[in-house]
C-alpha cells in the first residue's frame, strides 16, 4: 500500500523489526566515529566542552558508543550519557550511561533537565524521517504550485498523493521555494526544538550533511545504504534511509562547517618534523596518522563540509 514517505521511512528504520532494531550503523556505512577518525572528533567535542565550561557530554544517536568511549578516554573527568535506539553495547565502560530512545523524531521521556551539558547529535537529524513532496504542476511556475505528498510502497515505487498539511506547505514556501522535489524539514526542526527543550543549561550541537536555502538539492537527497553500498531507497527495513538536513531552518546561534570549526578550535596540526622519524619513529608515525585523520575530517568535499549547528541554552 502506498503511503507518505515520512510514515514508511519511520517504520522501515524504527518499527519493531526496523533497520535500527536489527542493524548497527557501522555494519553498513562509515562515519566520523569510525576507527581511525573517532579520536579526532572526540578531540573537537572535548575542546568545545572546555571552551564552553561544560561537564556532561550527551551523545544523541550514539550508534555503538564509539564517540562516547573516545571522549571518555580523552576527558575521564566528564560525565557521559548516550541516547540510542539500539541496546547498550556489550563491553561499554560501566561509567557511561546508556538511555534507550524510541527513534526518529522521538526522544526518551527521561531525557530532561540537562545541565552543564554538551548535547551532540552527530548524524541524527538526517535519519529523522521527513515529508517528501513535489510541486504540481511542474515548472515554470514552481513558486505558485500546489505542494503534494510523494507516496511510496514497500517496493520503493512512488506515486503522488494529497496536498501536504498547511504547515508543511508553509515550510516549503519559506525554506525550499525552488525545485520540484522537496524534503520538508519541519519534522527535523520540531525534533531539534524538542531536544533543545530538554536542556536547562548547555550547548546543543547538530552535525550533519546539509544545505542552505540558496542551494537546496534540486532532486532531493534521499539516499539508502546497505553493507557499504548505495542502494535504491526502499522502505522495507533492508537499508538505512537518510536525507541531508536543511540546517538553516533549525533554531541556531551559529552555523559553521566542520573544517571552519576545527580550524577555530586549533585542531589542525602541522606536518610532523622529519627529524622525529629518526629519533622516535613510533611518535612520527603516530603524528602522521593523526594528521591524515584530521585531513580526512576537514576535507571540504567530505566530512569537512558537514554543518555544525550550534545553539546555546541557558
Ligand X SMILES: C[S@@+](CC[C@H](N)C(=O)[O-])C[C@H]1O[C@@H](n2cnc3c(N)ncnc32)[C@H](O)[C@@H]1O
Binding site for ligand X (CB under 6 A): 20, 25, 31, 33, 60-61, 63, 83-86, 101, 103-104, 106-107, 122-124, 127
> What is the closest distance, in whole angstroms, from the C-beta atom of residue 75 to ligand X in the complex?
18
Q: Which helix (H) or strand (E) holds 243?
A: none
Least CB distance to ligand X at residue 308 (A): 13
CA angle 257, 204, 259 (to 5 degrees): 15
Toward ligand X, which CB reaches closer, 176 or 209?
209
Residue 273, preceding peptide bond in cis (omega within 30° of 0): no
Beta-ladder partners of 241: 224
Strand partners, 302: none
136: how many CB neighbours lie within 10 A of its CB?
A: 12
Residue whose C-alpha cell reads 522501515 in the numeric block: 12
List, in sequence order, the alpha helices (H) in the chain: 5-14, 19-22, 38-52, 66-74, 166-175, 186-197, 258-264, 274-279, 281-298
| Residue 22 Cβ vs ligand X, minimum distance, rounded to whole Å | 11
Nearest approach, Cβ of 270 to ligand X (angstroms)?
28
CB of 23 to ligand X, least distance (A): 9
Torsion region of 179: left, alpha or beta (phi above 0 gives left; psi -120 to 50 gives alpha): left
Smallest separation (angstroms) from ligand X to the CB of 181: 22
Question: Which residues share a beta bridge with 132?
Answer: 183
Query: Are the CB atoms for 170 and 178 separated by under 8 Å?
Result: no
Amino acid at each position: 500500500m502506498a503511503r507518505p514517505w515520512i510514515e514508511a521511512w519511520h517504520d522501515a528504520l524504527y518499527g519493531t523489526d526496523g533497520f535500527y532494531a536489527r542493524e548497527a550503523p557501522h555494519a553498513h556505512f562509515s562515519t566520523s566515529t569510525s576507527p581511525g577518525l573517532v579520536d579526532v572528533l572526540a578531540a573537537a567535542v572535548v575542546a568545545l566542552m572546555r571552551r564552553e565550561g561544560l561537564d556532561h557530554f550527551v551523545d544523541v544517536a550514539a550508534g555503538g558508543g564509539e564517540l562516547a568511549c573516545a571522549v571518555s578516554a580523552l576527558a575521564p573527568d566528564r560525565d557521559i550519557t548516550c541516547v540510542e535506539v539500539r541496546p547498550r553495547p556489550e563491553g561499554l565502560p560501566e561509567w557511561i550511561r546508556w538511555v534507550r530512545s524510541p527513534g526518529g523524531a522521538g526522544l526518551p521521556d527521561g531525557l530532561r533537565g540537562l545541565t552543564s551539558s554538551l548535547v551532540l547529535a552527530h548524524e541524527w537529524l538526517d535519519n529523522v524521517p521527513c515529508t517528501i513532496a513535489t510541486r504540481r504542476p511542474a515548472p515554470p511556475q514552481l513558486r505558485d504550485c500546489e505542494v503534494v505528498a510523494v507516496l511510496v510502497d514497500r517496493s520503493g515505487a512512488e506515486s503522488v498523493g494529497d496536498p501536504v498539511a498547511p504547515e508543511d506547505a508553509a515550510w516549503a514556501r519559506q525554506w525550499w521555494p525552488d525545485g520540484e522535489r522537496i524534503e520538508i524539514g519541519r519534522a527535523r526542526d520540531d525534533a531539534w526544538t524538542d531536544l533543545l527543550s530538554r536542556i536547562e543549561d548547555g550547548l546543543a550541537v547538530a552535525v550533519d550533511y546539509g544545505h542552505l536555502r540558496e542551494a537546496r538539492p534540486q532532486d532531493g537527497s534521499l539516499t539508502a545504504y546497505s553493507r557499504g553500498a548505495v542502494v535504491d531507497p526502499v522502505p522495507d527495513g533492508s537499508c538505512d534511509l537518510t536525507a541531508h538536513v536543511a540546517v538553516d531552518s533549525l533554531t541556531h546561534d551559529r552555523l559553521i562547517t566542520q573544517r571552519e570549526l576545527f580550524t577555530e578550535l586549533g585542531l589542525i596540526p602541522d606536518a610532523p618534523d622529519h627529524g622525529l622519524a629518526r629519533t622516535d619513529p613510533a611518535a612520527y608515525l603516530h603524528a602522521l596518522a593523526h594528521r591524515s585523520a584530521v585531513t580526512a575530517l576537514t576535507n571540504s568535499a567530505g566530512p569537512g563540509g558537514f554543518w555544525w549547528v550550534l545553539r546555546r541554552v541557558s
